């Protein structure tokens, strides 16, 4: 999988999502439950707003000194006998990983959840190299055995599937004979994957935060697969976006609390681990440890007007409150990063050519900004994208013409007044029972899904009413 998960046009993708009643009900119930759980956990922490400020302070400080902390991290990892590789592009990252795997003559790979490995198309490269690669996160595993269905949520990747669909896939692909209870499905995955952990030559993990002064990585998980991936195989490769770093465990602890509460409403997830290369005398853990630090476009975001987007800790809270995500679902974004944060970072990582529609997939209600635990001004960044897209004349000719016309109309009081007088008779042909039912351009787009009242007659208008009431001459 790459950043891009769907080659169809945005309109087709959203129509697909809106037409998928099962997905929409799954998403809305997931949103409701995650939203409530987040709120309960955030409230329980006490002064949540103060915690958000601490989170923001940590993330901004680290970003502002990113070269320093990455350098410190590299020194400490090397001092512990680990190896760190800095990859400027996704190709560099995935070929380094392939080279390590090939040099170990490894075929069997277990992997825990990592969004950045999707971004660098690592699975594709390793599968082409003939590796037997298994995703061990339950959600990711379900997607893999269903012929690599793309994820639709950052935290719960198989959110769009119901238990019956999952049971069908397990029956077809794994010879599963049980029923559709989530517990039995999960137990089956446990049995199948336990053997894979024990046989694996290489474990590949993501990294929630690297801890600079320790030369270690922090994984935040619930299932236990991340730790098994790091404990059992003799070689571990961890992959991180270059911005995912903290100075010490003290900052890590704050961000982990914000992350767990925002993502799933837990105080802490079941397993929070700080890990590095196996130390002398210890029996398990990686004898060979590689950390791959990925730029892949991030250095262009750093220091730009979108700098704050790099504060993201991938909790997914913005997805869980977004009314647009609720209706179109994760796949409609066509990116491994969906929802509000996806609409901000996908165009930055993948370019406006492919993703110019995403910043418009927002009502700008700002719910995302309100829940963000590290205070990324998400909806303001979406507006900045929109401004860039308009400036670069990337919106369609018809839309540009309509916007230009509207701009002239709204900036001239006399023209505006004239048009208001004509609005009622002019819209008569398009209206039925006081509602506009069809119209050109943007109007059709609106009335396709929303009511739009027909403008009132001049005699009934607010301006006329006010003039009469005041007996004055105001326009």
Residue numbers 286-325 binding other proteins by CB under 8 A: 293, 295, 299-300, 302-304
User: With helix as H, strand as E and coil as C, how does 121-167 read?
Assistant: CHHHHHHHCCCEEEECCHHHHHHHHCCCCCCCCCCCCCCCCCHHHHH
Establish if 21 lies at the interface with other proteins (CB under 8 A): no
Pick the stretch among 186-194, 370-378, 414-422, 460-468 that binds other proteins (CB under 8 A).
Answer: 186-194
- Strand pairing report for 435-436 and 431-432: antiparallel
**Cβ-based nearer residue to other proteins, 226 or 455:** 226
Total of residues contacting other proteins (CB under 8 A): 110
- Which span (242-250, 331-339, 347-355, 461-469) binds other proteins, by CB under 8 A? 242-250
Q: 303 or 407, CB closer to other proteins?
A: 303
- Residues 253 to 272 in contact with other proteins, rule: CB under 8 A: 253-254, 256-257, 264, 266-272
Q: Are residues 308 and 352 in contact, defined by beta-carbon separation less than 8 angstroms?
A: no
Residue 173 binds to other proteins (criterion: CB under 8 A): no
Candidate list 22, 91, 172, 194; residue touching other proteins; CB under 8 A: 194
The three-state secondary structure class of 252 is: helix
Q: CB 275 → other proteins: shortest distance, Å?
A: 4
SS3 287: coil
Instruction: Residue count of the chain, please give it.
Output: 475
- Cβ contact 42:257 at 8 Å: no
For other proteins, which residue of 2, 20, 28, 57 counts as binding (CB under 8 A)?
57
- Binding pattern to other proteins, positions 83-102, x when CB under 8 A? xxxx-x---x---x--xx--
Give me the least distance between CB of 462 and other proteins, in Å please: 47
Q: Does the footprint of other proteins cover residue 224 (CB under 8 A)? A: yes
Out of 116, 126, 138, 154, point to the residue binding other proteins (CB under 8 A): 138
Which of 106, 120, 158, 389 lies at the binding interface for other proteins (CB under 8 A)?
A: 158
Shortest distance (Å) from residue 358 CB to other proteins: 23
Pairing mode of beta strands 271-275, 288-294? unpaired
Q: Is the CB of 149 or the CB of 357 nearer to other proteins? A: 149
171 in contact with other proteins (CB under 8 A): no
Q: Residue 256: which of 242, 270, 243 has the closest Cα?
A: 270
CA neighbor of 302 nearest in space, from 357, 349, 371: 349
Q: Which parts of 385-444 interact with other proteins (CB under 8 A)? A: none
Question: Which residue's entry shows tokens 């891009």?
Answer: 4
HSE of 415 in the Cβ direction (CA atoms, 13 Å)? 8
Place of tokens 């400036």: 391
Q: How far is the CB of 349 from other proteins (least distance, A)?
A: 15
Choose among 289, 292, 107, 124: nearest CA to 206.
292
Q: At its nearest, how many Å lie between other proteins and the CB of residue 105?
A: 13
First to last CA, the chain: 59
Residue 133 interacts with other proteins (CB under 8 A): yes or no: no
Residue 182 or 425 having the CB closest to other proteins: 182
CB neighbours of residue 475 within 10 Å = 8
33 binds other proteins (CB under 8 A): yes
Is residue 319 a contact partner of residue 339, using CB atoms and an 8 Å limit? yes
Q: Assess 374 for contact with other proteins (CB under 8 A).
A: no
CB within 8 Å of 57: residues ≥ 6 apart: none
- Burial label, 392 (beta-carbon count in 10 A; 0-12, 13-18, 19+): exposed
CA pseudo-torsion sign 314, 315, 318, 322: positive
Among 42, 116, 126, 193, binds other proteins (CB under 8 A): 193
Distances (CA, A) of 312 to 156, 205, 315: 17, 19, 8
* Beta bridge pairs of residue 238: 205, 291
Nearer to other proteins, 229 or 454 (CB): 229
Position 463 contacts other proteins (CB under 8 A): no
Distance CA 115, CA 207 (A): 10
Tell the smallest beta-carbon distance from residue 426 to other proteins (Å).
50
Smallest gap from Cβ 187 to other proteins, in A, equals 8
34 touches other proteins (CB under 8 A): yes
**Cβ 312 to other proteins, closest distance in Å?**
17
Give yes or no for residue 328 binding other proteins (CB under 8 A). no
Instruction: Report the C-alpha gap between 276 and 290 in whole angstroms.
Output: 9
Within 10 Å of residue 307's Cβ, how many Cβ atoms?
16
In the region spanning residues 66 to 85, those forming contacts with other proteins, defined by CB under 8 A, are 66-71, 74, 80, 83-85
CB of 243 to other proteins, least distance (A): 10
The nearest distance, CB 128 to other proteins, in angstroms, is 19
**Strand boundaries in 352-433, DSSP class E:** 431-432
Piece in contact with other proteins (CB under 8 A), picked from 12-20, 41-49, 125-133, 455-463? 41-49
């Amino acid at each position: 999988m790459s950043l891009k998960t769907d080659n169809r046009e945005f309109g087709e993708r959203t129509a697909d999502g809106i037409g998928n009643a099962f997905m929409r009900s799954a998403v809305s119930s997931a949103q409701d439950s995650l939203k409530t759980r987040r709120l309960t956990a955030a409230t329980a922490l006490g002064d949540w707003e103060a915690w958000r400020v601490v989170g923001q302070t940590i993330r901004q400080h680290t970003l502002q000194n990113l070269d320093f902390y990455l350098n410190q991290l590299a020194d400490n990892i090397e001092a512990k006998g680990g190896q760190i590789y800095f990859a400027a592009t996704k190709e560099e990252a995935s070929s380094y990983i392939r080279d390590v795997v090939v040099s170990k003559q490894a075929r069997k790979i277990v992997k825990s959840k990592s969004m950045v490995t999707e971004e660098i198309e690592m699975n594709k490269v390793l599968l082409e190299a003939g590796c037997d690669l298994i995703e061990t996160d339950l959600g990711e595993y379900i997607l893999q055995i269903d012929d690599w269905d793309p994820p639709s949520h950052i935290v719960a990747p198989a959110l769009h599937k119901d238990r019956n669909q999952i049971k069908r896939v397990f029956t077809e692909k794994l010879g599963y004979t049980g029923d559709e209870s989530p517990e039995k499905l999960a137990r089956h995955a446990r049995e199948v994957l336990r053997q894979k952990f024990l046989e694996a030559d290489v474990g590949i993990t993501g990294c929630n935060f690297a801890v600079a002064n320790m030369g270690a990585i922090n994984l935040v998980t619930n299932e236990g697969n991340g730790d098994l991936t790091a404990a059992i195989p003799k070689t571990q490769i961890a992959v991180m976006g270059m911005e995912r770093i903290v100075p010490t465990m003290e900052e890590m602890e704050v961000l982990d609390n914000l992350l767990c509460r925002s993502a799933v409403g837990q105080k802490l997830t079941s397993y929070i681990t700080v890990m590095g290369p196996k130390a002398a005398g210890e029996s398990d853990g990686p004898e060979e440890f590689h950390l791959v630090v990925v730029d892949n476009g991030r250095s262009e975001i750093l220091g730009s007007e979108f700098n704050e987007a790099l504060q993201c800790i991938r909790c997914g809270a913005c997805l869980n409150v977004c009314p647009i995500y609720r209706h179109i679902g994760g796949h409609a974004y066509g990116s491994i990063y969906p929802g509000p944060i996806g609409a901000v970072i996908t165009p930055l990582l993948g370019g406006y050519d492919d993703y110019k529609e995403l910043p418009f997939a927002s009502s700008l209600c700002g719910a995302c900004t309100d829940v963000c635990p590290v205070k990324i001004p998400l909806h303001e960044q979406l507006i900045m994208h929109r401004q860039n897209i308009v400036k670069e004349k990337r919106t369609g000719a018809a839309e540009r013409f309509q916007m230009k016309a509207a701009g002239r109309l709204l900036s001239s009081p006399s023209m505006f007044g004239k048009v208001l007088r004509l609005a009622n008779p002019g819209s008569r042909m398009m209206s039925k029972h006081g509602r506009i039912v069809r119209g050109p351009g943007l109007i059709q787009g609106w009335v396709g899904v929303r009511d739009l009242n027909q403008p009132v007659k001049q005699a009934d208008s607010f301006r006329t009413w006010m003039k009469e009431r005041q007996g004055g001459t105001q326009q």
